[in-house]
Structure 1
Amino acid sequence: MEKYVLYFKEIDKTYLPFVGGKGANLGEMTKAGIPVPQGFCVTTLAYRKFIETSQEMDELFNRLDRVSPDSLEEIRELGQRIREHLQSISMPDDIQSAILQAWERTGKGKSYAVRSSATAEDLPTASFAGQQETYLNVRGKEQLLHAIQKCWASLFTDRAISYRAKNGFDHRSVFLSVVVQEMVFPEVSGIMFTADPISGNRKIISINASFGLGEALVSGLVSPDLYQVRSGEIIKKQISRKKIAIYPVPEGGTITKNIPAEKQEVQALSDQKILELAKIGQRIEEHYRSEQDIEWCLVDGKFYIVQSRPITSLYPVPHITDDKLHVFFSFGHQQMMTDAMKPLAISFWRTLMPFGKKGSVRSEGHALLEAGGRLFVDITELLCLKPVRKILPRVLSGIDELIASAISELIERGDIQCKPNKQVKRKVVRTVLPIAKNIIKNLFFRDPSQGLKYVNDFMQRSIKECESFVKGASGAERIKRIQESLGNLLLYSNYPLSNVLPYPLSGIVAWKLIERLSQKWLGDQQSVHLLNKLKKSLPGNVTTELGLMIGDLADAARPYPQVIDYLQRAKDETFYEGLGRIQGGDAFRRKLVQFMDKYGMRCPGEIDVTNPRWREAPTLLVPSIMSHIRSVAPGEHREKFRRGEKEAEQAAKEILSRIGKTRGGYLKKKLMSRLITVFRNGMGMREHPKYIIVQHFDIYKQAILDEGRALVGKGILEHEQDVFYLSLEELLALEENRFSGNIRELVQSRKIKYEQYQKLTPPRVMTSEGEVITGRRRDIEAPEGALIGTPVSAGVVEGVARVVLRPEEAKLNPGEILVAPFTDPGWTPLFNSAKGLVMEVGGMMTHGAVVAREYGIPAVVGIDKATEIIKDGDYIRVDGTQGYVQILEDDEDA
């Protein structure tokens, strides 16, 4: 394509490299019959030729490559220099000639809007909205040529440079086209979103409207009217006081005018026009097959569309196959890991989940659905059951207070209208009833001290059977066996996980009964204090033992400076080999081998099976070991655990003694003694179900990597870890030579998508209409400006905040408070070093809360954006009793 100018009617979406996102959209809409003011685009070829006339741009581009998105002063100086330089260059004659010819043909007596249109603009994954400049009411050839040149220079505004640097766009590969569009002089203009940009609801069209040109609205100079339309009906009208408007002036440019007082609160669009505009919005969305952000104007009673771009801020919605309203909650929030997961991990969990399957156990169920690289639990059919509506919010409150609140809000709104599915009801009863019976037996009849032995023996047999089953095949048969093993694991295998669940659940139920009965029989602050001590140092908790073994590793390294030095520079590939060459290395290695035998299959973010395990990347453990050495004395971790056991034992005696002195004390004491024993033994097994799943996942992963290596050997895949970007069914199709399409292109596209998904923030609860339900937090008395969350481990502590986004990057010092997005068992090693805990995600029964209580450190969870609001080094107060965090001052002044 060698043209410097293209008219809208010549352009469609395939012209994006030549006319940018905005230009391609205008051409696309023109061809689709959408009312668009006519015009033309100065192509990127013209921009590139113009840039080539500069003697300095190569060096300036080199400087841009080195600039950091956070270096604001450097960006300001460099951007200003580039813009001034580009405006000082003469535009080549042949480019001028092509532009003026198009201008004369379109109408040289008209006024024009001159807008920048970058090749990385108005895309589904990056809008770049507002990064470059717009010039309105441009008249005459001198104004036109000057505006175009200023648009080219605006590719290097401070915000545009920073945006590209932050989002990884090469400054040299983003080109600029300029849209020259006939100006229309509207009575009313504004923005229309074909999905509600606040709630995310895809069924609601949201319209902002104000008088005059839309620039007053876009630049924030005026508060527009807000209208919302759903299913052809206006559901909301919010009329604002519109004090000013921007209008064009005859000689070019614009002027801001005050609106007469009597007109300021007049509805800018009539009801009829609101519905007419909404229909145009629906047409545009249907054409692009995605939600749109549309700039529009009304001229002499007719609507014109001057721009349309995808709405990039909406979180993707899980795909459903019917038109009913579905409700989803975030699996990642429940599992304390909200990062995006790769396709293989998503496939594992969807195959594991036994509910919502229409085919064999090997198929992926519809109770778990993917959106934005995360999993969401579809609880719609469960909410059709009245008992579940009552129980589910209470259960979920232990996972995340805001999830529970959001579900309750939906139930109260009456949005879920459905009849109970008898098949679902039967499956729920068949699943829950045996577990409930076993919980009752554990509470009142079985010996609680034998539970741990049973569960550990069960676990060993289950793992051994899985290993034998999966390793006994290869190729397609091995993939089928993995699918079968996954599909049977929870309910149907010889060793179903449902046999283990009653033990930790007995501990949870026992705790609820302990809380209620102690409140009823004692009901004072002292009993609350004693109950908190009961949670310390629970026996048999595999995650607590993991943390203690990290402490043992730290103690094994302490006496040997060479080991400590080596750990900080070790590489995964030669980790063990290097230990053999230094003093103390063999002693440390023996401890490490013991740890890896038991926990080497774990890691941070372990629900994503594709994440590197500690066994695969032992350097991931180093920050935890070093933090432990810095902040915990030799043997202190084991001593602290023993102290916790004694404190819990003493607290139990005091509770029972006090209950024994109440009326009917003998029987009350006997019941409470039983419940405390069940709680202490059962709650210690809370982490076992996940531990068992992770061990199974490790077996499947190693088998799939074997298959990956074989596929690389056959030339089908480029790298063995490319299997992480495929589902189990796709892997099976590859093995059976029935995969259609280019597998390498598919893998590459999914790698790009995965990187994009990592930047998204998943909602806790959403509907199939895209509406995000945020939930309401309970009211508490807290100091002004405090961050409100959920209290999960009692106590108040002050200290320096250490913000940790990844445990492998952690550097905790004595007395510091850990501030994290979430924690799972892979984070446990840091708990020995932390004085307190703050998390963005979690509830009373999630991993971080349970471990914090065991370690006796105050904790508050569920504070959105805590890792952004609290800065590393801030001095903070954590009130784990009331549930808030105060930022007191920074570390320098503390």
Structure 2
Amino acid sequence: MNLVRQFADIGRSDLETAGGKGANLGELTGADFLVPPGFVVITDAYRAFVRDSGIGPAIMAAAATDTDDPSRLQAAAETIAGLFAGPVPEAMAAEILAAYHRLGEDARVAVRSSATAEDLADASFAGQQDTYLNIRGDAELLDAVRRCWASLWTARAIAYRARQGIAPDQVSLAVVVQLMIESEASGVMFTANPTNGRRDQAVIAAAWGLGEAIVSGAVNTDDLVVDGTGRVIERHTADKAVQTRYVGHGTAERPVPEHRRRLAVLDDGAAAELAALGRRVSDHYGTPQDIEWARRDGEFFIVQARPITALPEETGEVPTSWEVPRANSWYFRASIVEQLPDPLTPLFGDLINGAVSRSLTGIFAELLGKEALPPGAMTFPMINGYAYYAYEISAFGRVLTALPSAMKAITGRAGFVERWRDDAHPAYQRIVADWTARDLARLSSADLYDGVAELLEAGATYYTVVQTIIPPAASSETALTSFYDRAVRRAGDPPASTLLLGYDSLPILAEKSLYDLAAWAAERPELKEWLLNDQATHEPADADQFRSRFHDHLARFGHTTYNLDFAQPVPADDPDPVLDTLRFFLTGQGTDPHRRQAEAAARRDRLVRELSDRLDPVRRSVFRRLVAQAQRFAPIREDALADVGLAWPRLRQLLGELGRRLVRDGVIDEADQVFWLRDAELKDWLSGVVLGSRTDEIAKRKAVWRGQRLATPPQMLPDNGWARLFARWMPAVSGNETGPVLRGIGASAGSVTATARVLGGPADFGQLEPGDVLVASITTPAWTSLFAKASAVVTDIGGPLSHSSIVAREYGIPAVLGTGSATRRIRSGEQITVDGDAGQVTLIEQADSATPAAAERRRSLVPVIAGVAAAVGVGALLFRRLRRRKADRR
């Protein structure tokens, strides 16, 4: 019948004949790896048994059960198992037993299921079918073969295949029969590290005795990590109380002798030998492998190998040292850095350094002369990939002399607004419009690069001017809050921030625009159904009109950035997160922003009147003046900041076109890899240098970036007394706190206990469920749509005037900002309490097992002096210059 194949006669191409497990064991045997001998009862034997016994239709009928109903699944599996109770046909049995006898008289064998849909690169199906160990004798073997066939239809296997989209009639099963060895030790090895994706690290689990219990998790294991040189870089030696041994015609757990319980199963030399064996297997297959191994008499045997599925992208080392490039400088993470929470991608990092440095140096030169800030005195370098403002200490001292003028500037705030509104914003719009009007296809590659440089420069210049609005906005709100709390507020009165709510700003206008579009779509049942079903149904008549309206929305608001690094998409070129919020509104969830704003405005105006009426004339006069000043600035900061990304859609289009040309020249494989090139490489390519493929180098850079992203960058460097002195003005705490309480700035009042949802960017927005706590590094205006779903907000970076703070108040949800490490300390799905009054977040699971310190330190709501010297100094100088201009005009 030819229904049995020896391992030596099978290779990786025999998946349909030998199943995944059998094909891999044959491949390893043929490549001269040490594999215990055995054979495969091929899939034709399974098909013949099903056909000849007539059970095929009954199997298909039972397997068609509802996979979401566990009881029906189990009943179906039991029904199918009964169908395989018949005897193996005589001729088939004879062929199987002949192969078995060649392994030795009454040999101990493992009988393993080997399905045609298992041990694949994209789905391992590990544990979905059955394995039988220490099988001895003809009758036991044939019974184990039948039970393996039946295990193709266990409840877990049926459900697993349904989730993978594999139809019941597409699978078959071979059976592997393999000689068992009396192993002294065994285990599992991943030839790439599954926790960080590192391909140069092997992870080994080892225990005494047989390996099956290791796979099932029944015994403790020693755990080791071995690097590419064979060095053991991590080791945990377990207390191995039990081991799996042969017992009669099966296996059982037996105590480990006391003297071996805490003894390492593998010394460093054996671990290095095993890791080297794993590398050879991986090299043979060309992909990282999940290997089951056994050791006997000092030799390593491979019992099984399969590709590692769901291996994460490779992640480099997490930085622990934060050495500064220059000892004579101070380094700050503030101002524009608040919009750059992650390590910078290489091209953006190279280009933004010069753009930011020139924008600040240029303003200082304009206001105080060319010698005010000498070339190189202020830079924007990266440390471990993170952006920092760097000031030479002597230059920083000069800038700080502007602080007294900044404090006097309270009465002259209009100058800052005028400069932004009348000069900086129109100039930025003109540059963006000029480059948007140009035909990309007609531009040379050098022109495309020039456009990127000019638009980024324009964005940095605009941002510098926007930051000059921060000090007056901060001081006006701080002055109002201080006066209100000391001279106006009584018990039961709301916080001062209530007096600043209910105004329009670009983020609020964007939310209202999206809400209105959802309301329009909700009135058209077919369109609503089409949108809620992710446009999978027949396109309704209103689809084109919806697209036009949605395009108009993106044209007005799609330039807002999630992160200023231009490698990150904006809504204009990745509208999926915006569509998700529109669908949320379509379901009738969320509040009407028009009504919410009107109620906030009415409450604000009523409160101002009531408070004014109860004050004496002197306090009333001061109160009204402070309210008017603070209310004037309430929406301006958000309006100005929301337009920082005006150039970003066109920037990304220019870079996308450059990327496509680089793909054409073989420099990169995908256009988006352009963001991971260095500026020097791009310039070399533009000058005609043949670069060759940079794909491997880009993969290394991405791995380094992922490792850097797991670090918590210090807010100021070097970490000394000066850093601690300036800490209260920084937009985040150190991030090094431990324990169940995270401290930050209480930026919006209230307390909520709910499920945390940690979002790294727009790709994660769909994970946020209504009522979740939004946890992020920062939130920019592009995140506003999420606030409709969130019950509270927690960020790593941010202060009382950050976007998160202002919008959280508008929505009436608690916010704790500037925790430094929320995204690293909080896990998605865990319960947390956000206390916006105390400025702290409690990790409930940790709090249950630990008592926080009695004295809670609360950070003061001091004005965030953006960029420290940058914003305050520049703001003061601008005020001084504007005052001179007004005097000259008189």
TM-score range for the pair, normalised by the shorter chain length: 0.5 to 0.7
Matched residue, 1:191 = 188
In structure 2, relative to structure 1, the CA distance for the partners of 1:769 and 1:451 (3 Å cut) is: closer
Structure 1 SS opposite 2:238? coil
CA shift for structure 1 position 217: 2.2
1:549 paired residue number: 513
Q: What per-residue deviation string (whole Å, max 9, x for no partner) do you get for residues 546-579 of structure 1?
A: 113345567889xxxx937676446779777599
- For the aligned residues, what is the CA RMSD? 5.9
Distance 1:388 1:509 in 2: 27
Structure 1 residues 237 and 834, CA gap change in structure 2 (3 angstroms)? closer
Indicate the residue corresponding to 2:680 in structure 1.
none
1:711 aligned partner: none
Match of 2:453 in 1: 491
Q: Which residue of 1 aligns with 2:597?
A: 637
Alignment pair present for 1:41 and 2:40: yes
Tell me the CA shift for residue 112 of structure 1: 0.9
Offset of residue 223 of structure 1: 1.1
What is the SS of the residue equivalent to 1:209? strand
* 1:851 matched to 2:807: yes
1:501 matched to which residue of 2? 463
Distance, in Å, in 2 between the alignment partners of 1:252 and 1:242 is 24
Q: Tell me if 1:598 matches 2:598.
A: no
Q: Percent identity?
A: 27
Which region of structure 1 is more displaced relative to structure 2, 682-691 or 507-516?
507-516
Does the 8 A contact of 2:503 with 2:597 survive in 1?
no
Q: Deviation of residue 729 (structure 1)?
A: 10
- Give, in angstroms, the shift of residue 879 of structure 1: 2.7
Q: Which amino acid in structure 2 is aligned with residue 796 of structure 1?
A: G
Confirm or deny: 8 A CA contact 1:819 1:867 kept in the other structure.
Answer: no
Q: Is structure 2 residue 173 aligned with structure 1 residue 173?
A: no
Q: In the alignment, does 2:98 pair up with 1:101?
A: yes
Structure 2 gap ranges (5+): 368-401, 410-414, 563-567, 661-668, 675-698, 713-733, 817-821, 846-890
CA distance in 2, matches of 1:27, 1:384: 55
- The alpha-carbon deviation at position 181 of structure 1 amounts to 1.0
Structure 1 CA distance for aligned equivalents of residues 105 and 114 of structure 2: 22
Separation of aligned partners in 2, 1:64 and 1:459 = 64
493 and 432 in structure 1: CA distance in 2 versus 1, 3 angstrom threshold: closer
Residue equivalent to 1:340: none
Report how far residue 132 of structure 1 moved: 1.5
CA separation in 2, counterparts of 1:33 and 1:116? 23
Say if 1:227 and 1:493 are closer, same or farther in 2 by CA, change over 3 A: closer
SS of residue matched to 1:147: helix
Report the alpha carbon displacement of residue 304 of structure 1 after superposing the two structures with TM. Answer: 0.9
* Distance change >3 Å, CA 240–CA 291, structure 1 → 2: same
Which residue does the alignment assign to 1:61?
A: 60
Pick from 409, 417, 427: which aligns with 1:448?
Answer: 417
Alpha-carbon distance in structure 2 between the residues aligned to 1:424 and 1:285: 36
Letter in 2 for 1:549: S
Q: Which whole-Å deviations, capped at 9, do the CAs of 1:330-353 have from their partners, x for residues lacking one?
A: xxxxxxxxxxxxxxxxxxxxxxxx
Structure 2 CA distance for aligned equivalents of residues 866 and 47 of structure 1 = 46
Contact persistence 1:138–1:144 (CA under 8 A): yes
Q: Does 1:794 align with 2:794?
A: no
What are the Cα deviations for residues 705-725 of structure 1, in whole angstroms up to 9, with x where unaligned?
Answer: 9xxxxxxxxxxxxxxxxxxx9
SS at the partner of 1:469?
coil
Secondary structure of the equivalent of 1:91? coil
Residue 308 of structure 2: aligned partner: 311
Distance 1:58 1:184, change over 3 A: same
| Shift in Å, 1:277 | 1.9
8 Å CA contact 2:230–2:272 kept in 1: the answer is yes
> Which whole-Å CA distance do the structure 2 matches of 1:552 and 1:229 have between them?
58
State the shift of 1:504 in Å: 4.1
Q: CA deviation at 1:37?
A: 0.8
Pick closer, same or farther for the CA change 1:856–1:455 going to 2, 3 Å: farther
User: Aligned residue for 1:248?
Assistant: 246
Give a deviation string over 1:191-243, Cα, whole Å, max 9, x none: 22223334444333332222111123222232122333332233344322222
Corresponding residue for 1:457?
426
Measured after TM superposition, the shift of residue 493 of structure 1 is: 4.8
Using the TM superposition, give the Cα deviation of residue 508 of structure 1 relative to its aligned residue in structure 2, in angstroms.
Answer: 6.1
Measure, in 2, the Cα distance between the counterparts of 1:624 and 1:183: 61
SS of alignment partner, residue 271 of structure 2: helix
Change (3 A) 1:96 1:228: same
Q: Secondary structure at the match of 1:213?
A: coil
Aligned to 1:8: 7
Aligned residue type for 2:157: A
Following TM superposition, by how much is the alpha carbon of 1:150 offset from its aligned partner in structure 2, in angstroms? 1.1
Offset of 1:148 from its aligned partner? 1.5
Matched, 1:686 2:637: no
Taking the aligned partners of 1:294 and 1:774, their CA distance within structure 2 comes to 32
SS in 2 for 1:144: helix
Using the TM superposition, give the Cα deviation of residue 149 of structure 1 relative to its aligned residue in structure 2, in angstroms. Answer: 1.5
Structure 1 residues 511 and 487 mapped into 2: Cα distance closer, same or farther (>3 Å)? farther
Q: 1:226 to 1:569 in 2, by over 3 A?
A: closer
Aligned mate of 1:136, from 119, 133, 145? 133
Relative to structure 1, the CA distance from residue 66 to residue 81 in structure 2 (aligned partners, 3 Å threshold; closer, same or farther) is closer
Residue 768 (structure 1) shift = 7.5
Q: Can you list the C-alpha shifts for 1:531-560, whole angstroms capped at 9, x where unaligned?
A: 866985687x43222113345567889xxx
In 1, the alpha carbon distance for the partners of 2:705 and 2:270 equals 29
Shift of 1:36: 0.9
Cα shift at 1:13: 1.7
TM-score (norm 1): 0.64
Secondary structure of the equivalent of 2:265?
Answer: coil
Displacement of 1:699 in angstroms is 10
Q: Distance in 2 between matches of 1:494 and 1:29?
A: 54
Query: Taking structure 1 as reference, are residues 71 and 37 closer, same or farther at Cα in structure 2, changes over 3 Å only?
Result: same
Inter-CA distance 803–89: structure 2 relative to 1 (3 Å threshold) = farther
CA contact (8 A) 2:749 2:835 kept: yes
- Supply the distance in 1 between the matched residues of 2:608 and 2:735 (Cα, whole angstroms): 31
CA distance in 2, matches of 1:394, 1:19: 61
Aligned 8 A contact 1:820 1:867 in 2: no
Paired AA for residue 523 in structure 2: V
Structure 1 residues 243 and 389: alpha-carbon distance in aligned structure 2, compared to 1, 3 A threshold: farther
Q: Please report how far the alpha carbon of residue 186 of structure 1 lies from its aligned counterpart in structure 2 after TM superposition.
A: 0.8
The superposition leaves residues 766-824 of structure 1 with CA deviations (integer Å, 9 ceiling, x where unpaired) of 648989947696547758xxxx79777432244888999999999999xx735568787
* In structure 2, C-alpha distance between the alignment counterparts of 1:395 and 1:94, rounded to whole Å: 81
1:501–1:634 distance in 2 versus 1, CA, 3 Å:
closer
How many residues get paired?
711
> Helix, strand or coil: the match of 2:14?
helix
Contact 1:112 1:183 in 2 (8 A): yes
| Cα gap change, 1:297 to 1:703, in 2 (>3 Å) | closer
Equivalent in 215, 220, 229 of residue 218 of structure 1: 215
Residue 186 of structure 1 contacts residue 212 of structure 1 at CA under 8 Å; is this kept in 2? yes
Shift of 1:178: 1.6
Tell me the CA shift for residue 131 of structure 1.
1.6
Distance 1:310 1:645, change over 3 A: farther
- For the residue of structure 1 that corresponds to 2:245, the secondary structure is strand
Distance apart, 1:182 and its partner CA:
1.0
- Contact 1:490/1:498 (8 A) holds in 2: no
What is residue 52 of structure 1 aligned with on the other side? 51
Deviates more, 1:56-65 or 1:99-108: 56-65
Query: Following superposition of structure 1 onto structure 2, how do residues 576-655 of structure 1 map, counting pairs within 5 Å?
Result: 577=542, 595=553, 598-599=556-557, 607=570, 611=574, 621=582, 623-624=584-585, 627=588, 631-632=591-592, 635-638=595-598, 640=600
SS for the counterpart of 1:208 is strand
Quick check: 1:433 aligned with 2:397? Answer: no
Say whether 1:163 aligns with 2:157: no
Q: Give CA deviations for 1:295-337 in whole Å, capped at 9, x if unaligned.
A: 111112221111122222431238xxxxxx7879xxxxxxxxx
Q: What secondary structure does 1:23 align onto?
A: helix
In 1: Cα distance, 2:267 partner to 2:530 partner: 70
Aligned partners of 1:300 and 1:224: how far apart in 2? 20
- Partner amino acid, structure 1, of 2:585: S
Structure 1: how far apart are the matches of 2:609 and 2:468? 20
Q: Does 1:883 align with 2:845?
A: no
Q: Distance in 2 between the 1:175 and 1:46 partners?
A: 10
Q: How far apart, CA to CA, are the structure 2 residues paired with 1:183 and 1:635? A: 73
**Map of 2:269 onto structure 1:** 272
Equivalent in the alignment of 1:734: none
